[in-house]
Chains A and B, each alone.
Chain A
Protein backbone atom coordinates (compact mmCIF):
# COMPACT_ATOMS: atom_id res chain seq x y z
CA UNK A 1 0.00 0.00 0.00
CA UNK A 2 1.08 3.56 -0.60
CA UNK A 3 2.80 5.24 2.32
CA UNK A 4 0.62 8.30 1.85
CA UNK A 5 -2.30 6.66 3.64
CA UNK A 6 -0.72 7.64 6.96
CA UNK A 7 -0.63 11.37 7.68
CA UNK A 8 1.70 12.38 10.51
CA UNK A 9 2.92 15.37 12.46
CA UNK A 10 5.53 15.39 15.26
CA UNK A 11 5.97 18.66 17.13
CA UNK A 12 8.13 19.68 20.07
CA UNK A 13 5.86 21.30 22.67
CA UNK A 14 7.92 22.34 25.68
CA UNK A 15 9.33 19.21 27.29
CA UNK A 16 7.55 16.62 25.15
CA UNK A 17 6.95 15.80 21.51
CA UNK A 18 3.36 15.35 20.44
CA UNK A 19 2.78 12.95 17.54
CA UNK A 20 -0.51 13.03 15.67
CA UNK A 21 -1.37 10.25 13.25
CA UNK A 22 -4.27 9.84 10.83
CA UNK A 23 -4.56 6.54 8.96
CA UNK A 24 -6.79 5.63 6.03
CA UNK A 25 -8.56 2.39 6.81
CA UNK A 26 -12.23 1.19 6.62
CA UNK A 27 -12.13 -0.49 10.08
CA UNK A 28 -15.07 -2.75 9.12
CA UNK A 29 -16.49 -4.59 12.13
CA UNK A 30 -17.91 -7.57 10.22
CA UNK A 31 -21.41 -6.76 11.51
CA UNK A 32 -22.57 -4.38 8.80
CA UNK A 33 -24.30 -5.34 5.55
CA UNK A 34 -23.25 -3.91 2.19
CA UNK A 35 -25.57 -2.69 -0.57
CA UNK A 36 -25.92 -6.31 -1.76
CA UNK A 37 -27.33 -7.38 1.62
CA UNK A 38 -24.25 -9.49 2.39
CA UNK A 39 -22.18 -8.93 5.52
CA UNK A 40 -19.02 -6.95 4.88
CA UNK A 41 -16.18 -9.04 6.36
CA UNK A 42 -14.28 -7.64 9.32
CA UNK A 43 -11.34 -5.60 7.99
CA UNK A 44 -9.44 -3.67 10.60
CA UNK A 45 -6.03 -2.60 11.85
CA UNK A 46 -4.86 -4.99 14.56
CA UNK A 47 -1.43 -3.65 15.40
CA UNK A 48 0.16 -0.21 15.34
CA UNK A 49 3.77 0.27 16.32
CA UNK A 50 5.71 3.50 16.71
CA UNK A 51 9.46 4.03 16.99
CA UNK A 52 11.67 6.98 17.90
CA UNK A 53 14.97 6.85 16.00
CA UNK A 54 14.31 3.13 15.55
CA UNK A 55 13.62 2.43 19.24
CA UNK A 56 10.11 1.15 20.08
CA UNK A 57 7.96 3.65 22.01
CA UNK A 58 4.39 2.51 21.45
CA UNK A 59 2.65 -0.76 20.62
CA UNK A 60 -1.09 -0.63 20.11
CA UNK A 61 -3.36 -3.64 19.67
CA UNK A 62 -6.73 -2.69 18.25
CA UNK A 63 -10.09 -4.39 17.90
CA UNK A 64 -12.93 -3.42 15.58
CA UNK A 65 -14.07 -0.64 17.96
CA UNK A 66 -11.57 1.94 16.75
CA UNK A 67 -13.28 4.41 14.40
CA UNK A 68 -12.90 4.36 10.61
CA UNK A 69 -9.78 6.21 9.42
CA UNK A 70 -8.10 5.85 12.82
CA UNK A 71 -6.81 8.90 14.62
CA UNK A 72 -4.11 8.70 17.26
CA UNK A 73 -2.15 11.17 19.38
CA UNK A 74 0.74 10.13 21.61
CA UNK A 75 3.50 11.94 23.49
CA UNK A 76 7.23 11.27 23.80
CA UNK A 77 9.44 12.53 26.62
CA UNK A 78 12.83 11.57 25.22
CA UNK A 79 12.48 13.15 21.79
CA UNK A 80 14.13 16.29 20.42
CA UNK A 81 14.14 18.40 17.27
CA UNK A 82 15.38 16.45 14.25
CA UNK A 83 14.53 13.03 15.69
CA UNK A 84 12.63 10.60 13.49
CA UNK A 85 9.28 9.11 14.50
CA UNK A 86 7.95 6.20 12.45
CA UNK A 87 4.53 4.54 12.57
CA UNK A 88 3.51 1.20 11.05
CA UNK A 89 0.13 -0.50 10.99
CA UNK A 90 -0.82 -4.09 10.17
CA UNK A 91 -4.39 -5.18 9.46
CA UNK A 92 -6.17 -8.55 9.66
CA UNK A 93 -5.85 -9.02 5.87
CA UNK A 94 -2.05 -8.90 6.14
CA UNK A 95 -1.76 -5.41 4.65
CA UNK A 96 0.48 -2.82 6.24
CA UNK A 97 1.69 0.74 5.82
CA UNK A 98 4.58 2.75 7.27
CA UNK A 99 5.28 6.45 7.48
CA UNK A 100 7.95 8.50 9.20
CA UNK A 101 8.44 12.15 10.03
CA UNK A 102 11.06 14.43 11.56
CA UNK A 103 10.28 16.26 14.81
CA UNK A 104 9.77 19.99 14.23
CA UNK A 105 9.10 22.96 16.52
CA UNK A 106 5.42 23.52 17.29
Chain B
Protein backbone atom coordinates (compact mmCIF):
# COMPACT_ATOMS: atom_id res chain seq x y z
CA UNK B 1 0.00 0.00 0.00
CA UNK B 2 2.85 2.28 0.90
CA UNK B 3 4.45 1.57 -2.39
CA UNK B 4 1.23 2.26 -4.28
CA UNK B 5 0.89 5.62 -2.59
CA UNK B 6 4.47 6.36 -3.39
CA UNK B 7 4.01 5.45 -7.03
CA UNK B 8 0.91 7.61 -7.34
CA UNK B 9 2.81 10.48 -5.81
CA UNK B 10 5.61 9.94 -8.21
CA UNK B 11 3.28 9.83 -11.22
CA UNK B 12 1.86 13.22 -10.34
CA UNK B 13 5.41 14.52 -10.02
CA UNK B 14 6.19 13.24 -13.50
CA UNK B 15 3.31 15.20 -14.98
CA UNK B 16 4.50 18.36 -13.28
CA UNK B 17 8.18 17.91 -14.05
CA UNK B 18 9.56 20.19 -16.75
CA UNK B 19 10.19 18.47 -20.04
CA UNK B 20 13.58 20.01 -20.73
CA UNK B 21 15.22 17.18 -18.79
CA UNK B 22 16.48 16.05 -22.18
CA UNK B 23 19.24 18.63 -22.18
CA UNK B 24 22.44 16.84 -23.05
CA UNK B 25 24.34 17.16 -19.80
CA UNK B 26 27.29 14.79 -19.63
CA UNK B 27 28.05 14.17 -15.96
CA UNK B 28 31.80 14.80 -16.10
CA UNK B 29 32.39 14.44 -12.35
CA UNK B 30 30.65 11.08 -12.20
CA UNK B 31 32.31 9.64 -15.31
CA UNK B 32 35.81 10.77 -14.28
CA UNK B 33 35.51 9.58 -10.67
CA UNK B 34 38.06 6.85 -9.90
CA UNK B 35 36.26 5.49 -6.84
CA UNK B 36 32.85 3.86 -6.92
CA UNK B 37 31.61 5.96 -4.00
CA UNK B 38 32.68 9.21 -5.66
CA UNK B 39 30.87 8.18 -8.84
CA UNK B 40 27.62 7.35 -7.03
CA UNK B 41 27.90 10.59 -5.04
CA UNK B 42 28.26 12.58 -8.25
CA UNK B 43 25.15 10.80 -9.50
CA UNK B 44 23.44 12.06 -6.32
CA UNK B 45 22.65 8.55 -5.17
CA UNK B 46 22.38 8.85 -1.39
CA UNK B 47 20.89 5.51 -0.43
CA UNK B 48 20.54 2.28 -2.40
CA UNK B 49 18.09 -0.54 -1.79
CA UNK B 50 19.15 -4.03 -2.86
CA UNK B 51 16.49 -5.49 -5.14
CA UNK B 52 16.02 -8.72 -7.07
CA UNK B 53 13.78 -6.71 -9.40
CA UNK B 54 16.97 -5.38 -10.94
CA UNK B 55 18.39 -8.04 -13.22
CA UNK B 56 22.01 -8.11 -14.35
CA UNK B 57 22.82 -10.83 -16.87
CA UNK B 58 26.47 -11.34 -17.78
CA UNK B 59 28.82 -14.31 -18.19
CA UNK B 60 30.32 -15.77 -14.97
CA UNK B 61 33.71 -15.59 -16.62
CA UNK B 62 35.06 -13.34 -19.39
CA UNK B 63 38.16 -14.41 -21.30
CA UNK B 64 38.65 -10.94 -22.71
CA UNK B 65 37.73 -7.99 -20.55
CA UNK B 66 37.61 -5.71 -23.60
CA UNK B 67 34.17 -7.04 -24.55
CA UNK B 68 31.81 -8.22 -21.83
CA UNK B 69 28.19 -8.36 -22.95
CA UNK B 70 25.74 -7.39 -20.24
CA UNK B 71 21.94 -7.28 -20.22
CA UNK B 72 20.28 -5.06 -17.63
CA UNK B 73 16.62 -4.76 -16.78
CA UNK B 74 14.41 -3.26 -14.11
CA UNK B 75 11.07 -4.85 -13.28
CA UNK B 76 10.11 -1.92 -11.04
CA UNK B 77 7.32 0.24 -12.47
CA UNK B 78 8.27 3.82 -13.38
CA UNK B 79 12.00 3.15 -13.60
CA UNK B 80 13.45 6.33 -15.10
CA UNK B 81 17.06 5.39 -15.60
CA UNK B 82 19.61 2.60 -15.30
CA UNK B 83 23.29 3.06 -14.49
CA UNK B 84 26.12 0.55 -15.00
CA UNK B 85 29.16 0.69 -12.73
CA UNK B 86 32.17 -1.63 -12.57
CA UNK B 87 33.71 -1.29 -9.14
CA UNK B 88 37.30 -2.16 -10.04
CA UNK B 89 37.57 -0.28 -13.34
CA UNK B 90 39.88 2.77 -13.46
CA UNK B 91 36.70 4.85 -13.82
CA UNK B 92 33.78 2.81 -12.44
CA UNK B 93 30.86 4.58 -14.13
CA UNK B 94 30.28 2.99 -17.55
CA UNK B 95 26.92 4.24 -18.71
CA UNK B 96 23.76 6.03 -17.64
CA UNK B 97 20.57 5.33 -19.61
CA UNK B 98 17.43 7.46 -19.28
CA UNK B 99 14.14 6.13 -20.63
CA UNK B 100 10.98 7.95 -21.71
CA UNK B 101 7.90 7.71 -23.91
CA UNK B 102 7.47 3.94 -23.70
CA UNK B 103 11.11 2.84 -23.77
CA UNK B 104 11.49 -0.17 -21.46
CA UNK B 105 14.12 -0.08 -18.71
CA UNK B 106 16.07 -2.71 -20.63
CA UNK B 107 19.49 -2.48 -22.28
CA UNK B 108 21.98 -4.87 -23.79
CA UNK B 109 25.46 -3.48 -24.30
CA UNK B 110 29.14 -4.46 -24.25
CA UNK B 111 31.52 -3.06 -21.68
CA UNK B 112 35.22 -3.14 -20.72
CA UNK B 113 36.38 -4.73 -17.48
CA UNK B 114 39.92 -4.21 -16.14
CA UNK B 115 39.80 -7.14 -13.71
CA UNK B 116 37.46 -9.47 -11.85
CA UNK B 117 34.75 -7.28 -10.35
CA UNK B 118 31.09 -6.82 -9.65
CA UNK B 119 28.99 -5.23 -12.35
CA UNK B 120 26.68 -3.00 -10.36
CA UNK B 121 23.42 -1.72 -11.81
CA UNK B 122 21.45 1.07 -10.17
CA UNK B 123 17.88 1.96 -11.14
CA UNK B 124 16.38 5.36 -10.39
CA UNK B 125 12.69 5.22 -9.52
CA UNK B 126 11.42 8.61 -8.43
CA UNK B 127 13.66 9.66 -5.57
CA UNK B 128 14.67 6.08 -4.76
CA UNK B 129 17.57 3.98 -6.01
CA UNK B 130 17.50 0.20 -6.33
CA UNK B 131 20.57 -1.90 -7.01
CA UNK B 132 21.80 -5.37 -7.82
CA UNK B 133 25.17 -6.79 -8.88
CA UNK B 134 26.72 -9.63 -10.83
CA UNK B 135 30.30 -10.76 -10.35
CA UNK B 136 32.33 -11.48 -13.48
CA UNK B 137 35.72 -13.21 -13.38
CA UNK B 138 37.99 -11.52 -15.93
CA UNK B 139 40.93 -13.51 -17.31
CA UNK B 140 42.44 -10.80 -19.51
CA UNK B 141 42.43 -7.05 -18.77
CA UNK B 142 40.25 -5.13 -21.21
CA UNK B 143 40.98 -1.59 -20.14
CA UNK B 144 43.90 -0.63 -22.36
Q: Do A and B belong to a common assembly? A: yes
Whether A61 pairs with B102 at a CB distance below 8 angstroms is no
Q: CA A39 – CA B106 in complex, angstroms?
A: 35
Chain B interface size, under 10 / 10 to 19 / 20 to 34 / 35 or more: 35 or more
> Looking at the complex, which of B3-11, B49-57, B108-116, B124-132 is the stretch in contact with chain A?
B108-116
Q: How far is the CA of A31 from the CA of B89 in the complex (A)?
A: 12
**Shortest Cβ distance from residue B92 to the other chain A in the assembled complex, whole angstroms:** 8
B94–A63 touching, CB < 8 Å: yes
C-alpha spacing A72/B100, complex, angstroms:
17
Q: Say if the beta carbon of B66 comes within 8 Å of chain A.
A: yes
State whether the Cβ of A12 lies closer than 8 Å to any Cβ in chain B: no
- Tell me the interface secondary structure of chain A in the complex: strand
Would you call B110 and A65 a contact (CB within 8 A)?
Answer: no
How far in angstroms is the closest Cβ of chain A from B104?
A: 4
Output the least CB separation between B37 and chain A (Å): 16
How far is the CB of A97 from the nearest CB of chain B, in Å?
A: 15
A interface, size bucket: 20 to 34
Is B100 in contact with A57, judged by CB distance below 8 angstroms? yes
Q: Which of B26, B89, B102 is in CB contact (< 8 Å) with A47?
A: B26
Interface residues of chain B, those whose CB is within 8 Å of chain A, are 22, 24, 26-27, 31-32, 66-69, 86, 89-91, 93-104, 106-112, 142-144
Q: Which 7 A-B pairs have the closest CB atoms?
A: A78-B102, A73-B108, A65-B94, A32-B144, A77-B102, A63-B31, A67-B110
